[in-house]
Amino acid sequence: MAASRIVARRRALAFARWSAIVLALVWTLFPIAWAMLLSVKPTALEYRSVYVPFVQFRPTLEHWRWEWQQRGEINGLEIGLRNSLAVALTTAVLATLLGLLAAGGLQRTRRRLRGSLLALLLLPRIVPPIVLSGPIFLWTRQVRMHDTLTELAAIHTGLALPLAVVVLDGALREVPGDLLDAARLDGASELRVLVRIAAPLLGPVLVAIGTLSFALSWVEYLFAQTNHASRAYTLTLSVAFLEERDGVQFEHVGSHLVLVLLPPLVLGLLAQRVVARGFSLGAVRSDR
């Protein structure tokens, strides 16, 4: 009797676990699958309840041909792709570099002060972004940085930096202290110890931070919208530009979304092992 109860409990737990996994996969992949469906669905069938290619309708590439023909227009993706790539790469590099330097500085502060500084660094992620958009908009107009990629990269770096500092602070505590102290005894400066000794040991963490910072910048919309006037628009705004006076061009939304979602998805798949290993390095925090 007891054995049957144990078996039933294990089966119930396995069922619950797999149900949660399937639910998470459906929740995550549904927008991507819907976008891919719209990208091959004929325009005449956009508002009809047909969802199975080759069974309910014949797929078409007309939306993808339109993407190529309109790539240089404001509702195309060429300019937005270049801008998003420049901003996302800059954000990834700056967030990783500044996060490493800030985490290294926190290691040399007292424990109580370190906690207060970490709380202050997390403030930009705690405050709703909509609260910050107005003051940032007014300030950037005064300093003549509005509608520039420089402003957008600075904002995105500020959004990504708290996560970078927190993760790297935890990871640096796992670096053997004797190794760092030996380098200091040999006359190495704090910056040299951080860059030449600690950074190579934290390679997976740095890749993880860079990957997530890139993805955050790539899909960000609110500050990209408030920053844009006529020149500095990104991929997310290129999707929004499909809304015209006569309505939204739903026939092209699918192909736009696929092209917007594809780069971070591919990057995440390529770097998944390194990202998982990187965050596991900072999971256990020591008292050092």
φ/ψ of 48, rounded to 5, equals -105, 150
Please tell me whether the overall predicted TM-score, pTM, comes out greater than 0.85 for this model: no
| Residue partners of 212: CB distance under 8 A and separation at least 6 | 160, 163, 275
Domain parsing of the chain, residue ranges = 1-60, 68-281
Least confident of 23-27, 184-188, 209-213, 269-273: 269-273
- Cα dist from 137 to 131, 155, 220, 235, 250, whole Å: 11, 11, 16, 20, 31
Fold of 68-281: MetI-like fold (1.10.3720)
Asked whether residue 277 carries a pLDDT value surpassing 70, the answer given is no
Under a CB-based contact definition with an 8 Å cutoff, are residues 74 and 252 in contact?
A: no
**CA 266 to centroid of chain Cα atoms:** 12
- Angle at which helix 78-107 crosses helix 149-172, to 10 degrees, equals 40
Tens digit of each residue's pLDDT (9 = 90 or more) over 72-96: 777 778 888 899 999 999 999 999 9
- Cα dist from 164 to 67, 91, 174, 208, 218, whole Å: 36, 11, 16, 9, 17
The band of 223, judged by pLDDT with boundaries at 50, 70 and 90, is very high
pLDDT at position 259, please? Answer: 83
Tens digit of each residue's pLDDT (9 = 90 or more) over 58-78: 888 888 888 888 887 777 788
Rounded to whole angstroms, the Cα distance separating 252 from 67 reads 8
